[in-house]
């Protein structure tokens, strides 16, 4: 069993119990990591309560608001981490967003603002958070993000998010090159389609899942906990020689040609 006892792990992007970030958080906790959880704040505080209730069994030592479109909030989040933890060993980036209207129709009709928003939240935020975490990873660490096959293949109704994920995967490589001398590893998991709050914005998500179940070598899609297991491995010492990589956790679907 993987042992992350004594490791501080910050997990972003939990929205509900279907979130891939939730599966990752559960497996990191199971491996003994000390968790910090961030949530996207809203005016009525609904997200704060929803996420707080969900993660309570994991006993996170930090529970912080963090909107990556607000530089001040990102700075505040990592300021608290520095004060309370002193160091961070693992950063889990599970953040992506695109306007629903930019995920349908012709890609050439993507709005300028929609393109900017998708790239800012889904790709730029990885570099943003990695830069904030770097000073707190003095003895090395692991940064992990989530991608999807739409980064390298044209997927119906994925559109601008595919471009954002391509940018995200390129960011993984550049960050790995930058942070490697500091013994900080940066990787991504490209998970198969899972029914989550984020994927519900992609038209035909159930058709995509059923297609994977028919075509993938394992004849099924994957679960949040399976992605969590792979994430825990990549963040552990067992993966100490792995960085700058995109690991497909998709029941083998990515290898199929027809």
Q: List pLDDT tens digits, range 149-197.
A: 999 999 988 999 999 999 999 999 999 999 999 999 999 999 998 866 5
Amino acid 170: pLDDT: 98
Q: Which of 1-15, 178-192, 194-208 has the lowest mean pLDDT?
A: 194-208
**42 or 207: which leads in pLDDT:** 42
Number of other residues whose CB lies within 10 A of the CB of residue 217:
11
Please, are residues 233 and 239 in contact by the beta-carbon 8 Å criterion?
A: yes
pTM for this model (two decimals):
0.95
Amino acid 11: pLDDT: 98
Amino acid 94: pLDDT: 97
Q: What distance in Å separates the CA atoms of residue 166 and residue 176, rounded to the nearest whole number?
A: 16
Show which residues are catalytic. 148, 158
pLDDT at residue 72 is higher than 70: yes
- pLDDT > 70: what percent of the chain? 96
Nearest one of 53, 52, 47, 18 to 37, comparing CA atoms: 52
CATH architecture of 8-193+223-249: 3-Layer(aba) Sandwich (3.40)
Amino acid 195: pLDDT: 65
Domain ranges of the chain: 8-193+223-249
Q: Which of 1-10, 196-205, 209-218, 231-240 has the highest mean pLDDT?
A: 231-240
Averaged pLDDT for residues 218-228: 95
Amino acid 208: pLDDT: 82
Q: Which residues lie below 8 Å from residue 33, measured CB to CB, with a gap of 6+?
A: 4, 5, 7, 8, 9, 89, 90
The DSSP output letter for 153 is S
Task: Find the Cα–Cα–Cα–Cα dihedral 188, 117, 53, 90, rounded to 10°.
Answer: 30
Q: What distance in Å separates the CA atoms of residue 119 and residue 40, rounded to the nearest whole number?
A: 17
């Amino acid at each position: 069993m993987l042992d992350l006892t004594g490791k501080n792990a910050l997990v972003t992007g939990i929205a509900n119990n279907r979130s891939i970030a939730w599966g990752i958080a559960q497996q990191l906790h199971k491996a003994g990591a000390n968790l910090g959880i961030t949530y996207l704040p809203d005016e009525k505080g609904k997200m704060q309560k929803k996420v707080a209730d969900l993660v309570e069994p994991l006993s996170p030592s930090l529970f912080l608001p963090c909107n990556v479109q607000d530089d001040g909030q990102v700075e505040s989040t990592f300021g608290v981490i520095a004060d309370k933890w002193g160091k961070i060993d693992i950063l889990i980036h599970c953040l992506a967003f695109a306007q629903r209207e930019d995920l349908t129709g012709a890609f050439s009709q993507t709005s300028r603002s929609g393109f900017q928003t998708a790239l800012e939240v889904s790709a730029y935020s990885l570099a943003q958070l990695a830069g904030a975490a770097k000073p707190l990873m003095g003895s090395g660490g692991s940064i992990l993000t989530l991608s999807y096959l739409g980064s390298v293949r044209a997927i119906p109704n994925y559109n601008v998010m595919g471009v954002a994920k391509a940018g995200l995967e390129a960011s993984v490589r550049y960050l790995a090159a930058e942070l490697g001398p500091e013994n900080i590893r940066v990787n991504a998991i490209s998970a198969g389609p899972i029914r989550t709050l984020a994927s519900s914005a992609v038209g035909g998500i159930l058709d995509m899942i059923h297609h994977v179940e028919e075509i993938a070598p394992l004849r099924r899609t994957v679960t949040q906990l399976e992605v969590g297991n792979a994430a825990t491995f990549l963040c552990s010492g067992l993966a100490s020689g792995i960085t700058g990589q995109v690991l497909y956790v998709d029941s083998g679907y990515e290898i199929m040609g027809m």
